[in-house]
Amino acid sequence: MSKYETVIGLEVHCQLATKTKIFCGCPTIFGAPPNSSTCPVCLGLPGALPVLSRQAVEMGMRASLALNCEVRPQSIFARKNYFYPDLPKGYQISQYDRPLSEHGYVDIEVEGVKKRVGITRVHMEDDAGKSIHDGFKDSANYTYVDLNRSGTPLAEIVSEPDMRSSDEAFAFATEMKLLMQFAEVSACDMEKGQMRCDANVSVRLHGAEKLGDKVEIKNLNSFRFLKMAIDYEVERQIGILESGGKIVQETRLYNVDSGETVSMRSKEDAHDYRYFPEPDLLPLRISDEWLASIRNVMPELPPARRKRMLEDYGLREYDAGVLTQTREISDYYERVAATAQDPRAAANWVMGDLMALLKAENKEVSESPVSPEHLGELIALINKKEINGKQAKEIFPKMVATSDSPRTIVDRDGYKQISDTGAIEKIVDDVIAANPKQVEQYKSGKTAVIGFLVGAVMKASKGQADPAAVNELLKSKMA
Ligand code: ADP
Ligand code: ZN
Ligand code: MG
């Protein structure tokens, strides 16, 4: 294997989260009754004219900025001609030689090694409808066409062939998804087809200058399959080259059940799309002012957020990674940290107790039974020494069960930590008097026995004493 180097370039389709379709006013809704969200434009009826959606363009601009691309002052829509039953116009309206934006990059990290992957271009296009193959019945094969998806705006993002392993491709796709989510371009729900990847894969001898002939694997709808498909394809290509064969340039599909890629069409059968400028749409002009107005409202993206978590909050790189896994987790964490006024403790609680809870209840962070403000308040109560850590661990499940604030639970269930030193001192004296053997052991140098004595005081205080204060008192009294 190490004789060869893997080369990968990805093409990612990302559904833009607009309210309406790109060239008509039909709502972009998922799961509506078939063909209920259609009109003459997205049905491709003759004579119907497209009108470009401003919101779609702005989302395309956001995607471009998130990917560090240069947005072109003028881009051109082009017809990409091909026949498919779920493409009634007979062409897709896409962009060709003058796309929305170009020359960007995404930074990724694999096993501690950072790397920059170039973005060739981002262009906009309309999605096709869906064919639903319903199988054989009543002595006929049925296929239904649902055009609700027809005209849904897509951004197609094309990377440079900069990735060198399936792990890098996985990291790239993951970061791409995060960027699109944080930039509020798309929810990127892969199960709803909001994000789809095509992987271009080739191998070459290490040190070779020219790229090898590539194979395109189409329509990978999960990152796990993306990685598995690339791994399979790399081995297949190396096998062919090692036995003296040549790679056929073709489009292949990944078969999830067999774990293999299979040929879909060869280069000879490739479509000639006969691209030409779309005569029904004017060139898309984006002024500096328009672009600046989008740049000004861009939300903070994961790279900047991770940096802030490291530098301002003093989190570890691993924690910053976990806490920027999704936009929701990141926002939740920031609200906990702000309420608690303690970013490190907030990170521990969110990554520990909260994530364990969500996992156990199979919930998203947006469905968390504990609000970030309540969790932050719990941490603040510990820091103000009103309760101790052990009590907090008892209060947290009560917050989950009742959605009550920690303050309410503390007051109602009598959780207040005893901060009155007089009261603690009395208990400490009692415990010392009741355990002469352990006190003797402590004084003779077996200092570990203090744990037993602290435990006895905590028990006598019903868990309400501050363990650190108890420790100090015991030490000073036995010195
Ligand atoms: P095509 O003409 O087949 O559309 P492009 O040059 O436009 O090919 O590239 C399409 C995608 O394939 C891009 O993501 C690019 O990075 C990737 N790519 C191009 N050549 C190779 C190669 N030899 N190996 C792997 N990926 C490649
Ligand atoms: Zn429509
Ligand atoms: Mg191309």
DSSP per residue over 94-134, as a string?
EE-SS-SEEEEEEEEEETTEEEEEEEEEEEEEE---EEEEE
Quick check: 150 and 203 in contact, CB under 8 A? no
Q: Which atom of ligand 1 lies closest to the CA of 160?
A: 16
Q: Please write the tens of the pLDDT for every residue from 14-59.
A: 999 999 999 999 999 888 999 999 999 999 999 999 999 999 999 9
pLDDT at 390: 86
Q: Which domains can be identified in the chain, with CATH numbers?
A: 4-290 (no CATH), 305-413 (no CATH), 421-477 (1.10.10.410)
Residues with Cβ within 8 Å of residue 191, at least 6 apart in sequence: 221
Query: What does the block give as tokens for 35?
Result: 């063909």
- Comparing C-alpha atoms, which of 124, 131, 104, 99 is closest to residue 116? 104
The preferred substitution site among 200, 204, 265 for testing ligand 1, maximizing ligand atoms within 8 Å of CB, is 200
Q: Whose CA is nearest to atom 19 of ligand 1?
A: 161
Q: Which atom of ligand 1 lies closest to the CA of 212?
A: 23
Percent of the chain's residues with pLDDT above 90: 73
- Rg (alpha carbons) of the chain, rounded to whole number: 30
pLDDT at 70: 98
Flag whether pLDDT at 270 surpasses 80.
Answer: no
- Report residue 440: phi and psi, to 5°: -65, -45
Identify each DSSP E strand in 257-341 by its residue range: 260-266, 276-277, 284-285
Mean pLDDT of 127-150: 90
- By DSSP bridging, strand 195-205 and strand 4-15 are antiparallel
Percent of the chain's residues with pLDDT above 70: 99
**Is 135 in a helix, a strand, or coil?**
strand
Kindly give the distance from the C-alpha atom of residue 161 to the centroid of ligand 1, in angstroms, as a whole number.
6
Task: pLDDT band for 416, please (50, 70, 90 cuts).
Answer: confident
Kindly compute the dihedral angle of the four CA atoms of residues 308, 311, 315, 318, in this order, to the nearest 10 degrees: 70
Task: pLDDT band for 107, please (50, 70, 90 cuts).
Answer: very high
**Is 174 in a helix, a strand, or coil?**
helix
Q: Which of 18-22, 395-399, 462-466 has the lowest average pLDDT? A: 462-466
Kindly give the distance from the C-alpha atom of residue 156 to the centroid of ligand 1, in angstroms, as a whole number.
14
Kindly give the distance from the C-alpha atom of residue 9 to the centroid of ligand 1, in angstroms, as a whole number.
6
Closest-lying ligand to the alpha carbon of 48? 2
Q: Please write the tens of the pLDDT for every residue from 354-387.
A: 999 999 999 989 899 999 999 999 999 999 888 8
Mean pLDDT of 8-12: 98
- Comparing C-alpha atoms, which of 193, 198, 185, 202 is closest to residue 236? 202
Q: Please write the tens of the pLDDT for every residue from 320-334.
A: 999 998 889 999 999
How many beta carbons lie within 10 A of that of residue 340, not counting itself? Answer: 23
Flag whether pLDDT at 408 surpasses 80.
Answer: yes
Helical pair 450-460 and 467-478, crossing angle rounded to 10 deg: 120
Q: If you average pLDDT over every residue of the chain, what do you get?
A: 92
Give the whole-angstrom CA distance, residue 161 versus residue 139: 48
Q: Which atom of ligand 1 lies closest to the CA of 202?
A: 24
Whole-prediction pTM: 0.83
pLDDT at 139: 85
Give the whole-angstrom CA distance, residue 40 versus residue 37: 11
Kindly give the distance from the C-alpha atom of residue 129 to the centroid of ligand 2, in angstroms, as a whole number.
12
Q: Which atom of ligand 1 lies closest to the CA of 200?
A: 26
For the chain, the residue count is 479
Residues with Cβ within 8 Å of residue 297, at least 6 apart in sequence: none
For CA atoms 22, 27, 29, 33, give the dihedral sign: negative
Give the whole-angstrom CA distance, residue 301 versus residue 298: 8
Closest-lying ligand to the alpha carbon of 216? 1
In eight-state DSSP terms, residue 208 is: -
Q: Please write the tens of the pLDDT for every residue from 439-459.
A: 999 998 888 899 899 888 888
Mean pLDDT of 258-279: 86
Q: Please write the tens of the pLDDT for every residue from 278-305.
A: 999 999 999 999 999 999 999 999 999 9
The preferred substitution site among 196, 214, 275 for testing ligand 1, maximizing ligand atoms within 8 Å of CB, is 214
pLDDT at 221: 87
Q: Which residue has the tokens 């093409």?
A: 11
Side chain identity at 260, as an amino acid letter?
E
Flag whether pLDDT at 176 surpasses 70.
Answer: yes
Closest-lying ligand to the alpha carbon of 251? 1
Flag whether pLDDT at 146 surpasses 80.
Answer: yes
Flag whether pLDDT at 132 surpasses 70.
Answer: yes
Kindly give the distance from the C-alpha atom of residue 89 to the centroid of ligand 2, in angstroms, as a whole number.
12
Task: pLDDT band for 268, please (50, 70, 90 cuts).
Answer: low
Kindly give the distance from the C-alpha atom of residue 109 to the centroid of ligand 2, in angstroms, as a whole number.
41
Kindly give the distance from the C-alpha atom of residue 97 to the centroid of ligand 3, in angstroms, as a whole number.
10
Distance of CA 318 to the CA centre of its chain: 16
Long-range contacts of 229-233 (CB under 8 A, 24+ apart): 229/199, 229/254, 229/261, 230/6, 230/8, 230/166, 230/169, 230/199, 230/201, 231/166, 232/259, 232/260, 232/261, 233/199, 233/201, 233/261
Give the whole-angstrom CA distance, residue 363 versus residue 367: 6
pLDDT at 419: 66
- By DSSP bridging, strand 4-15 and strand 276-277 are unpaired
Kindly give the distance from the C-alpha atom of residue 127 to the centroid of ligand 2, in angstroms, as a whole number.
12
Q: Which atom of ligand 1 lies closest to the CA of 249?
A: 3
Find the residues whose C-beta lies inside 6 A of ligand 1. Answer: 7-11, 158-161, 200-202, 211-212, 214
pLDDT at 458: 82
Closest-lying ligand to the alpha carbon of 26? 2
Q: Whose CA is nearest to atom 24 of ligand 1?
A: 202
pLDDT at 244: 94
Mean pLDDT of 193-216: 95
Kindly give the distance from the C-alpha atom of residue 73 to the centroid of ligand 1, in angstroms, as a whole number.
26
401: enclosing H helix or E strand: helix 389-402
Q: Which atom of ligand 1 lies closest to the CA of 158?
A: 14
Determine if residue 140 is left, alpha or beta; phi over 0 gives left, psi from -120 to 50 gives alpha, anything else beta.
beta
Q: In sequence order, what DSSP letters do the residues of 235-270 get, joined into one string?
A: HHHHHHHHTT--PPPEEEEEETTTTEEEEEEEGGG-
Q: Which of 220-224, 277-281, 458-462 has the lowest average pLDDT? A: 458-462
Closest-lying ligand to the alpha carbon of 218? 1
Query: What does the block give as tokens for 180?
Result: 């699109």
